[in-house]
A and B are shown apart, each in its own frame.
Chain A
Amino acid sequence: MAAAGGARGRTSFQRRPGAGPRPPALPGTRPALRRGQLLLSSGLPSLDCVLGGGVAVGTLLLIEEDKYGLYSNLLFKYFLAEGIVCGHELFVASAKEHPDNILKELPAPLLDDSHGKELGNEAAAVKSEDLQDSMKIAWRYQNLPKMEVSPTMHTKFGHYYDISKKMSPELCQSVKFHSFYLHEELPFEPKMKTWNMNSGYARLLQSIQRIISQEGFDGSDPQQKQRNVLRIGIQSLGSILWGDDVCCSDTPEDPQSLTKFLYVLRGLLRKSLSACIITMPAHLIQNKAIMERVTNLSDMVVGLESFIGSERETNPLYKDYHGLVHVHQIPRLNSLICDVSDTKDLAFRLKRKQFTIEWVQDNYLRQERNIYPPGFSYLLKQKDSAWGEGSLQHSTFLMSFLAKAAAFASRLVRHSEPREQTGSGRIRQTAELRMWRHGHRQEAPGLLVISA
């Protein structure tokens, strides 16, 4: 290629004439060229930002449910609603709520053309404020080079939803929908293999595999004209309704069923044009080893911790928020680096119409943790996000701070000398640094003393 370019006397990096911005091959997707991936939106643009741009095709997003499953259920529905708006195929599996009912409860999208018509003036004002609020995080993230956010794509990639309204049935029925309701499935045929796995999981895997191969999501049929993406949603995996006892026992009888299921599912996802969201009642799983393994086998793990019933509910620091978001795992695909977002201090809030994930104001958490003394915050703005007191970075930083303070003090003395010169030739001012003694209340690391 380089030789050919040289023969023509120009670099090989030239743009082909007429090669305009090509439309994406699949609706509702966005390529992440740097990592060679195809991204989908999770249905919540602020969550996409946290996950490094979106959910990559072939990956698994695990949501650790909050205590009452209130907010995790919202994320689950956002993911499915986004699939409907983008025209993706859906596969919904549940052991609790019937998939058809889940589909009926999806939130209505806030599409651009319907803004003014459907909403009164007042409501529109509220919404624009909402939108502005929720855009704030996106705006802050835009400075990050990793995010690959292009504003023009926002119209097609990632939508906002109004949770106070339900999606219209016509829109719901516009996409192909497969459901798996454990209690309606046919009794297990003895000739089917269970692979030493919980029978509910085995049946779910077979069902997913059948749809992936029958509907051509595995790319087995290259002649197929219309390719589409399959969005898989699995509700409350691991709960007792699936016939698994990881939630009710510290030493479950069959702890490997869940991890085996996730491994096979990972294999199925990697080989097909699909993405999966799973909610899991992680707070019920007493055995930490299982959660650790589950995390390792998932591509993205996001935990929701709601303030309902906790003492933080009344804490004035958190008055604006309804809970915290913990990002436990982010994908490391096709690259040495993983896209760690700059902050881990994330909280969510449920407004009248929208659910958003926001960056907690830096000082909120810092005040709570009391890592740094108050006077320091201006210096620390750029230096750190999460160094602990007594850590290596912290002490190194303090040392460099003290060195700077010493330089500052000597400048101060030198600078003031000519004015204060008395002619006796003696230095009239001294500056020294004193460290606090042990036991002293440590508001600051030391004291700068200037004596005249």
Chain B
Amino acid sequence: MGGRPRAAHAQPLSAAGPSALPAPHGAAMLAELNELLGAAPERPDAGKFTLLRDTQTDGSFLVHHFLSFYLRAGCKVCFVALLQSFSHYNIVAQKLGVNLAAAKEQGQLVFLEGLQSCLDLLFGEEEQPGQPNPLQFLSGSSPDLRALFDFVRVSLSAADSWKGPVLLVDDLSVLLSLGAAPVAVLDFIHYCRVCVCCQLKGNIVVLVHSNEDSEDEENELVVNSLCHHSDLILWAEGLATGFCKDVHGQIKIIKRLSLRQAAEQDVVQIYQYKIQDRNVSFFARGLSAAVL
């Protein structure tokens, strides 16, 4: 893989971004993705809702990117990690040049480990009334996700010196699997938007799975309605033609300009990507190393 295709297509890629600044941190994060999105950790956006969507592939590399991006940008991050354990995220973040354990200690990162709090809820002792478990809805006492929202609100509202707060959710679809109603999930996201994006001028990044073939109507409802409200959609798709060693998938970057100004058209960019050990390389369609 290496430099050849990248060098050959540096032109179209940098032309695509509105202001393609050279990424200051070479190894950290996915510098190429920052270029494509026109984002820089020096000046993170404010009040944006970003939807990460994956279809027939695994889009978690995007979560890892945004986690390391916002931590490096000095933002206060609340990470609702429902799918994997802390050690998994920590090891991957180290590969991207960020230390989650340190960030957690300094209070920059508030990490909700869904798997652990689920065990606490089911097998732990009776809890104090003052601190409800964020996954309270699992026990069936109340169907809504109020406890989870309260957790997000409290952890992001705390006054400290970090920059604009960020809520990151790895896999909203898990909430549906755990028995939350789609409406409850949408309510949760709406409350979070009002609180994080509008009041605190922060950002939200949410990952969802979607697969049109799966006939999962609840999930489709959530995904469609989130798509409708997102400022930015990153949609990772597996190749329709199957597995390929040099192209792991295709990413559609949809900048929803129409959301802010009615007259504008959405900007859609499509790239293919290949995931490497510590990096992801992006290239224009049909221009992978295998083809060239």
How many angstroms between the C-alpha atoms of A189 and B179 in the bound complex?
A: 24
Asked if B34 is at the interface of the complex by the 8 Å CB criterion, the answer is no
B118→A288 contact, CB < 8 A: no
Q: Which residues of B contact A195 (CB under 8 A)?
A: 122, 138-140
Shortest distance from the beta carbon of A304 to any chain B beta carbon, whole Å = 19
Q: How large is the interface on A (under 10, 10 to 19, 20 to 34, 35 or more residues)?
A: 35 or more
B116→A292 contact, CB < 8 A: no
How many angstroms between the C-alpha atoms of A260 and B84 in the bound complex?
A: 15
How many angstroms between the C-alpha atoms of A263 and B209 in the bound complex?
A: 16
> How many residues on B have C-beta within 8 angstroms of the other chain's C-beta atoms?
54
B243→A332 contact, CB < 8 A: no
Contact of A266 among B60, B115, B285 (CB under 8 A): B115
B122→A292 contact, CB < 8 A: no
Asked if A387 is at the interface of the complex by the 8 Å CB criterion, the answer is yes
- Looking at A205, A267, A342, the one whose CB has the most chain B CB atoms below 10 A away is A267
| Given A296-B209, A333-B88, A338-B58, A289-B138 contact (CB < 8 Å) | no
B119→A271 contact, CB < 8 A: yes
Shortest distance from the beta carbon of B275 to any chain A beta carbon, whole Å = 5
Shortest distance from the beta carbon of A376 to any chain B beta carbon, whole Å = 16
Contact of A344 among B95, B122, B243 (CB under 8 A): B243
How many angstroms between the C-alpha atoms of A297 and B114 in the bound complex?
A: 13
| Given A195-B122, A260-B177, A334-B278 contact (CB < 8 Å) | no
A209→B214 contact, CB < 8 A: no
User: A66-74, A154-162, A388-396: which one contacts chain B?
Assistant: A388-396
| Given A259-B178, A260-B179, A336-B277, A289-B217 contact (CB < 8 Å) | yes
B276→A336 contact, CB < 8 A: yes
Shortest distance from the beta carbon of B114 to any chain A beta carbon, whole Å = 8
| Given A259-B178, A264-B118, A289-B218, A332-B242 contact (CB < 8 Å) | no
B278→A336 contact, CB < 8 A: yes
How many angstroms between the C-alpha atoms of A264 and B213 in the bound complex?
A: 27
- Looking at B92, B95, B123, the one whose CB has the most chain A CB atoms below 10 A away is B123
User: A102-110, A313-321, A346-354, A378-386: which one contacts chain B?
Assistant: A378-386
| Given A289-B217, A289-B219, A292-B211, A260-B138 contact (CB < 8 Å) | yes
Q: Which residues of A contact B244 (CB under 8 A)?
A: 384-387, 393
A209→B123 contact, CB < 8 A: yes
Asked if B157 is at the interface of the complex by the 8 Å CB criterion, the answer is no
Shortest distance from the beta carbon of A338 to any chain B beta carbon, whole Å = 7
Q: Which residues of A contact B216 (CB under 8 A)?
A: 288-289, 292-293
| Given A336-B278, A337-B276, A396-B286, A292-B214 contact (CB < 8 Å) | yes
Q: Which residues of B contact A256 (CB under 8 A)?
A: 177-179
Asked if B61 is at the interface of the complex by the 8 Å CB criterion, the answer is yes
How many angstroms between the C-alpha atoms of A289 and B241 in the bound complex?
A: 23
B177→A296 contact, CB < 8 A: yes
Nearest 3 A/B pairs, CB to CB? A386-B242, A289-B216, A267-B115
